[in-house]
Amino acid sequence: MHEHDVIVVGAGGAGLRAAIAAEEEGADVALVSKLHPVRSHTGAAEGGINAALREGDSWEDHAYDTMKGSDYLGDAPAVETLCQQSPDEVIKLEHWGMAFSRDDDGRMSQRPFGGLSFPRTTYAGAETGHHLLHTMYQQVVKRGITVYDEWYVTQLAVTDEDDPESRRCYGCVAYDIQSGDLDGFVASEGVVLATGGPGQVYDHTTNAVANTGDGPAMAYRAGVPLEDMEFIQFHPTTLPSTGVLITEGVRGEGGILYNSEGERFMFERGYANNAGELASRDVVSRAELTEINNGRGMEDDYVHLDMRHLGEERISDRLENIIHLATDFEGVNPLEKPMPVKPGQHYAMGGIEVDENGETAVSGLYAAGECACVSVHGSNRLGGNALPELIIFGARAGWHAAGREMQPAGIETGPAASMGSEDLDTPVEPGAIAPRTESGDIAADGGTRADGDARADGGTGAQVMGAAETVEHAVETERERITAMLEKEGGVKQATIRSRLQKAMTRNVNVFRTEDGLNQALRDIREAREAYADVSVADPSRTFNTDLIHTIETRNLLDLAEAITLGALARTEFRGAHWREAHQERKDDEWIKHTMLAWNDGEPELYYKPVVLEGENKTYEPKERSY
């Protein structure tokens, strides 16, 4: 058993910043990560970090752009915190040694990005995330923070009172990938989840294989609601054969999109008469797919992104990485030819419900980064707004978990709290939340009521345990579950289930969504859940058993795919990244509200909570969103 004040699960941008913050507060902190920190997916971030650093720009303009980009589903106080604190956090990174690109006068370079009214995206070539990770990892090493890398967290250790808000998280259980041992981690102050996005729910994604949404799935099953899961961002410029991202920075520097008729369609077909290629991502993705669906794509599959006119010197200086990515992954040298691009899954706007201090509904459990929903992106994230979110809300979660008094930023949570509010008492569409079939319910946790069940008697009402006992009990439950998986013969392999799930999501829960398609996706997901009840692990060995890890991850993907689809089915409007064929308007009277999903003993329960449009000095009145 390992004991620390604060345990941070995940060592990407959010986890590293949370760990540094907890250490700044004097806590004994440890990072537990399934990957080595600098292999975390933040390292793939290319384009940059938004911060209002220059004369002529302001945090207020950044906040306005972000609220507009969110299609008025972001919470204004959190958005304002993001925009106010981003300049200081970016300068802190610079003081820690981050190698930002520079203008000739020595100032940090900034470039235009989609949906921004000012060129405020600060960058380090087209490898911003790589530099960010290395800079913060150096701080972790310098401060002597303990890192358990290649430890895969399989479960949280949470007490299991009936009311999730009375539960307490005391730590987690992790599988040491190298030795094959399962061990407990006790956190006397708090656990911070920073496990990144769930991109592997889809088969065409810019996300790494490790992005399986483990944190949100574990938190959800332990009783923490998920928020706004239906809002998935599809990035307009991914390479068709692999999903590898071509940064928005290419369009920021002047890259142009063409259809097969040689038209600069963003302008010529009237999709965004002012911003053109630099409209918000949801707008550009829909435009590309409309062109392709109307027969004006190349090979019925993609459009062209051309940056040759920028010249080799500028491209090499600011976008060198793109030359390598397009050449290595698509066989196209972008200095000589336009790059083929199409929309691909990129980012989850939703996640674990948290307040501005990273607190969840379960005490002692915090979350930050892409796995969390604070909510600053609402229904559509602006490019360059995720990296500031990691460092700002990662730091706040770390400080708070380590005991710093923070400004209260309470969340009103739980179905009871929200459904009581008159205007939110909207009945959920019939069929949208159809209960699962019994066989579709996965009892792979040994039949406990929730994954976090830690009552001494497994749920019959005996005394709630203390920290060490709770963690020990969770370790034992996990040991039994994993042993059963390893010893099971026959059964279905996770790869079959995962692939079926990913295809169902890509086919029917994509940029364009229909009622029939979403219902079909829900049936496919539930069939896949049924199949998972019979899952087995092909590789019986203990060490470096990636098949075992993928099997556990696949369960997480199933729960999150269902959450995304349920939210999408219920939301009968078109807002941000969520387009519905039969509901072509944004319905502000009915739908300015966050979608919440509670685990409710394994039966997903949908409810809503208000969006906060009132900022410090102004209210962000919803306006038509055009670019």
Summarize as ranges the residues that interact with ligand FAD (CB under 6 A).
9-15, 32-35, 40-42, 44-49, 128-129, 152-153, 194-197, 206-207, 210-211, 214, 245, 346-347, 369-371, 384-387, 390
Shortest Cβ 158–ligand FAD spacing (Å): 15
Residue from 251, 281, 481, 571 carrying the catalytic annotation: 281
**Distance of closest approach, residue 94 Cβ to ligand FAD, in angstroms:** 16
Query: Is residue 147 within 8 Å of 136, Cβ to Cβ?
Result: no
Q: Which is nearer to ligand FAD, 549 or 592 (CB)?
A: 549
Least Å from the CB of residue 470 to ligand FAD: 19
Q: Using the minimum distance from each CB to ligand FAD, give the nearer residue, 70 or 128.
A: 128
User: What's the count of helices (H) and strands (E) in the chain, helices before strands?
Assistant: 16, 23
Q: Which is nearer to ligand FAD, 175 or 620 (CB)?
A: 175
Give backbone dihedrals phi and psi of 190, rounded to 5 degrees, phi first.
180, 160
Distance CA 561, CA 494 (A): 15
Task: Output the smallest distance, CB 321 to ligand FAD, in A.
Answer: 11
- Tokens 């005996």 correspond to 462
Block residue for tokens 């670019």: 627
When the beta carbons of 369 and 567 are compared against ligand FAD, the nearer one is 369
Neighbours of 178 (CB within 10 A): 11
- Comparing CB distances to ligand FAD, the nearer of 281 and 529 is 281
Cis peptide bond prior to 375, omega within 30° of 0: yes
- CA-CA distance, 474 to 215, in Å (whole number)? 16
296 is catalytic: no
Residue 522 tokens, joined: 């829900």
- The smaller minimum CB distance to ligand FAD, of residues 171 and 440, is found at 171
Task: Report which residue type is found at 322.
Answer: I
Amino acid identity of 41? Answer: H
Which is nearer to ligand FAD, 245 or 467 (by Cβ)? 245
Angle at CA of residue 520, ends 610 and 353, nearest 5° = 25
Q: Look-up: residue for tokens 């102050």?
A: 189
The distance of closest approach from Cβ of residue 260 to ligand FAD in the complex, given in angstroms and rounded to an integer, is 26
Smallest separation (angstroms) from ligand FAD to the CB of 61: 17
Residue of minimal Cβ distance to ligand FAD: 12
Cis bond upstream, residue 285 (ω within 30) = no
Rounded distance between C-alpha atoms, residue 563 and residue 348, angstroms: 12
Nearer to ligand FAD, 129 or 414 (CB): 129
Token code pair at residue 80: 């304002």
* Nearest to ligand FAD of 34, 473 (CB atom): 34
Q: In sequence order, what E strands does 159-231 have? A: 169-176, 182-193, 226-227
Q: Kindly give, in sequence order, each residue whose CB lies less than 8 Å from that of residue 610, ignoring residues fewer than 6 positions away.
A: 418, 421, 423, 424, 592, 593, 594
- Minimal distance in Å, beta carbon 577 to ligand FAD? 14
Structure tokens at 442: 């996965």
d(C-alpha 541, C-alpha 603), whole Å: 34
Question: Residue 403 Cβ, how far from ligand FAD at the closest point, in Å?
Answer: 22
Report the candidate in 62, 50, 197, 74 with the shortest Cα–Cα distance to residue 576: 74
Say which DSSP state 293 is in: I
Is the Cβ of residue 13 or residue 77 nearer to ligand FAD in the bound state? 13
Bridge pairing between strands 169-176 and 182-193:
antiparallel
**Residue 533: half-sphere exposure toward Cβ, Cα within 13 Å:** 13
Question: CA–CA separation, 127 vs 207, rounded Å?
Answer: 15
**Residue 94 and residue 243: Cα distance in Å, rounded?**
31
Place of tokens 């592997």: 200
Pairing of strands 605-610, 512-513: unpaired
Rounded to whole angstroms, how far apart are CA atoms 21 and 9? 14
Report, in Å, the least distance between residue 621 CB and ligand FAD: 27
Q: To the nearest whole angstrom, how small is the minimum distance from the Cβ of residue 333 to ligand FAD? A: 20
Angstrom distance (rounded) from CA 218 to CA 159:
13
Paired sense of beta strands 339-348 and 232-238, if any: antiparallel
Q: How far apart are CA 54 and CA 60, in angstroms?
A: 13
Any idea which residues carry the catalytic annotation?
281
